[in-house]
Amino acid sequence: MKFESVLEDLTTRGNLRQIPADSTDRADLLDFSTNDYLGLAADQMLRREFVNKALQDDSMMMSSSASRLLAATQRHHEALEDCLARMYGGGRKALLFNSGYHANTGILPAVSDKSTLIIADKLVHASLIDGMILSRCDFRRFPHNDIETLERLVRANADRYETIVVAAESVYSMDGDRAPLEEIAELKMKYNNLLLYLDEAHAFGIDGPDGLGLAQGSRYPELWDIVIGTFGKAAASSGAFAIVAPKVRELLVNRSRSLIFSTALPPMQMAWTQKIVELLPYLEPKREHVRVLAKKLSDTLSLFTNSHVNASHIQPLIVGDAKRAVELSKALLEKNVKVLAIRTPTVPAGTERLRFSLSAAMTDNDIDRLRNALESVI
């Protein structure tokens, strides 16, 4: 069968994926594989406090049982959207999506047509790539963080398209590096048909003022037309949101297929998410702790590579070979350190890696444990 040959080829190249076994029962495991940047997902006190309250509220149902356009229970969704809109300000509105993938694959087609060109950074997430494909409009890619090439593409196409959407991420998920947000925003001052689209999935909660992302702390936050954040990482929940102008929100409610045709997130989940979002302004000590850990992790990983490693809450150790990355991941797991191998097509061939994610629940001693484990397997 064709399926068998595909699987055989993936195995030969070291790219066969499997869902990892549950490891939550291993109390001694040091886990660098999750995106729980603030360490809130395992906070038992927060969870107990919320559950006790939820048991007293009959409106916190376990399922919405319908899409947002049909569901009877909306109060928790609306309360969370109002909360986000107040926090971001500027007269903008929030709209919830079931995931970051739903947001990116639903919004880009909704705001695009044949008169639209999308120009995206070469390293944007797969969900943005799929959103571009579903948009059925022309799109181009520019080399990662290359503002000169981006402006050249914009200049060459500014008169050919009614709208040019420039899509980027604020923190890139595989390298942890940042986009030059101010330089991108300044392009909008020069070309009046630009629509700026920013995915803050790996920044929301952990970066920017009150954890609201890097655009919010940049010089021109108001120039970013569509800002995407997700709850499944630093916010210890699930789902996503878009911060947009009121008219754009109205358009998305009418044209975003991933919103219209998906069962809405459970009301109880939305209530939990609002609890976490309201906590974010008070969690700066956790964010600072992660920044301190990031410097120590960067120093540690730099010992095992010839290239500089950015001090970020996401850091890679480039291996350059899929099979070797998997071998190192397995060897580290035997040392009670969990870090997963990232391979093609998630990253370009030749840049296969171990990807380390930090959590505020970690300590300096945990980074020392990692260094000892790396020394024993590399």
Q: Are residues 117 and 172 in the same domain?
A: yes
Residue 15 lies in a domain: no
Say whether 173 is catalytic: yes
pLDDT at position 51 is: 85
Q: Which of 169, 200, 207, 352 is catalytic?
A: 169
pLDDT at position 1 is: 63
Query: CB–CB of 104/150 below 8 Å?
Result: no
Largest CA distance in the chain: 60
Residue 13 lies in a domain: no
Residue 18 lies in a domain: no
Q: Which of 241, 261, 281 is the last residue of a domain?
A: 281
Say whether 202 is catalytic: yes
Question: Which residues of the chain register pLDDT less than 70?
Answer: 1, 24-25
What's this model's pTM, rounded to 2 decimal places?
0.94
Q: Which of 199, 200, 207, 352 is catalytic?
A: 199
Q: Are residues 89 and 108 in the same domain?
A: yes
pLDDT tens digits for range 192-251: 999 999 999 999 999 999 999 999 999 999 999 999 999 999 999 999 999 999 999 999
- Point out which residues pair with 139 in neighbouring strands: 118
CA distance 123 to 129: 10
Domain that holds residue 208: 52-281
Count of CB atoms within 10 A of residue 282's CB? 10
Say whether 334 is catalytic: no
CA distance 98 to 116: 26
Q: Are residues 155 and 210 in the same domain?
A: yes
User: What is the chain's percent helix, strand, coil content, to nearest 5?
Assistant: 45, 15, 40
Q: Are residues 79 and 156 in the same domain?
A: yes
Count of CB atoms within 10 A of residue 162's CB? 10
Say whether 308 is catalytic: no
Q: Which of 76, 93, 233, 296 is catalytic?
A: 233
Residue 17 lies in a domain: no
Say whether 262 is catalytic: no
Residue 9 lies in a domain: no
Q: Which of 15, 31, 33, 35 is catalytic?
A: 35
The pair of structure tokens assigned to 348 is: 């370009």
Q: Which of 93, 102, 188, 202 is catalytic?
A: 202
Say whether 313 is catalytic: no
Q: Are residues 337 and 295 in the same domain?
A: yes
Q: Which of 281, 314, 340 is the last residue of a domain?
A: 281
Q: Which of 125, 188, 275, 289 is catalytic?
A: 125
CA distance 31 to 25: 12
Say whether 366 is catalytic: no
Q: Are residues 248 and 304 in the same domain?
A: no
Q: Which of 135, 170, 173, 256 is catalytic?
A: 173
